[in-house]
Amino acid sequence: MTTYNFTHVYVESRGLIGGVKEKQGPLGSLFDKNYEDYYAGEKTFEKCEQLMVKEACDYALRKANLKINDLDLLIGGDLMNQLSTSHYFARNLNIPFIGMYAACATSSLIIGQAALYIEYFLANKVLAFTSSHANDAERQFRYPNEYGVQKKTSTTITVTGAGACVLSSKQSKIKVTSFTIGKIIDWDYKDVSDMGKAMAPAAFETLLTHLKDTNRNIDDYDCIVTGDLSKLGFGFLCDLLKQEDMKTEILNDCGLLIYHENQADTFCGGSGCACSMLVSMSDLLNKIEDGTYHRIMVIATGALLSPIPIEQKESIPCIAHAIVYEGVTL
């Protein structure tokens, strides 16, 4: 049993910052703010990412009419080595901090963890946040974009953005009802330019575990999104599900939803911690709020890629954590 159910955990508010390409995508207008370039007035990409996460948190707090000191706990994570974005942001806040890492699955991990603290009355207000930036992530994990290394068509592009949410037991239209913790899955894929395919089995495993744990089937959800499997990885997941005679019509992938299908230089789709956070916290939760959806699941997937093991000829272990959101009629 790896699924935890919650009875009184709500999304009190959300704050979302997008980057240049994310603004141009179909969800751009739903974010609280979009940056016009990759620096936003900062000297480095890293500092730009720290600013993004700060602004996302500011929006989330302001919308809930909260001050920093009203928070009991911060839970954050990001792609930068040593979670430096989260740490350099949180050092100014003087609030207890928990750092977590699950690559691009971090969004579901921090939200699930925050939900546990609310459910068991360990905190009244928890701020969960994550972020990613195309330029700092790419130079850390592969090559600086400035080198102009030709990318394979199977590659994904790291989403530039940040998302934050306040979870609490204060009733809102959006309830967090389940959290399924993933296992690390490694099907021996080694291509760092095709991580979607490596991650698909992890999404598959977590989806099956979740349905078994909750005794539900796919029809019990209005929408299930993975994030971020790329076109190739998402196709692979659908193939795996079809082998189990499962429907795939209500499935989609955050990496495909964040950009237009033919948007320039977005290759096989978006990735990065911010991708599933931005997509789920904007369009999907809006649709819960307005009654379009009643119950959705976000299966954030992470390629636990690390450059040194890859240089040592290792494969890419992956993980997927799932969060279920449900609508509440107030």
Which residues contribute to the site for its own copies (CB under 8 A)? 1-2, 4, 43-44, 46-47, 72-73, 77, 80-84, 87-88, 90-91, 93-103, 109, 113, 116, 120, 122, 140, 181-186, 304-309, 312, 314, 317, 319
- For the chain, what's the residue count? 330
Residue 213 and residue 329: Cα distance in Å, rounded?
26
- Between helices 134-141 and 45-63, what is the axis angle to 10°? 130
Structural tokens at position 169: 């037991």
Residue 188 and residue 39: Cα distance in Å, rounded?
37
| Residue number, 2 or 248, with CB nearest to its own copies | 2
Residue linked to tokens 């602004």: 55
| Residue number, 2 or 286, with CB nearest to its own copies | 2
Q: C-beta of 44: minimal distance to its own copies in Å?
A: 6
Q: C-beta of 287: minimal distance to its own copies in Å?
A: 29
Q: C-beta of 186: minimal distance to its own copies in Å?
A: 4
- Answer whether 130's CB lies under 8 Å from 106's CB: yes
- Answer whether 258's CB lies under 8 Å from 27's CB: yes
| Residue number, 1 or 264, with CB nearest to its own copies | 1
Q: C-beta of 74: minimal distance to its own copies in Å?
A: 9
Reported as type and span, the H/E element at residue 324 is: strand 318-327
Q: C-beta of 302: minimal distance to its own copies in Å?
A: 9
The three-class DSSP label of residue 217 is coil
| Residue number, 205 or 253, with CB nearest to its own copies | 205
The three-class DSSP label of residue 293 is coil
Residue linked to tokens 């994904």: 156
Q: C-beta of 30: minimal distance to its own copies in Å?
A: 30
Q: Which residues are paired to 10 by β-bridges?
A: 168, 175
Q: C-beta of 154: minimal distance to its own copies in Å?
A: 21
- Answer whether 125's CB lies under 8 Å from 71's CB: yes
Q: C-beta of 327: minimal distance to its own copies in Å?
A: 26
| Residue number, 275 or 288, with CB nearest to its own copies | 275
- Between helices 230-243 and 195-214, what is the axis angle to 10°? 40
DSSP secondary structure string for all residues of 250-273: TEEEHHHHSS-TT-TT-TT-EESH
| Residue number, 289 or 314, with CB nearest to its own copies | 314
- Answer whether 161's CB lies under 8 Å from 278's CB: yes
Residue 72 and residue 122: Cα distance in Å, rounded?
9
| Residue number, 44 or 171, with CB nearest to its own copies | 44
| Residue number, 185 or 229, with CB nearest to its own copies | 185
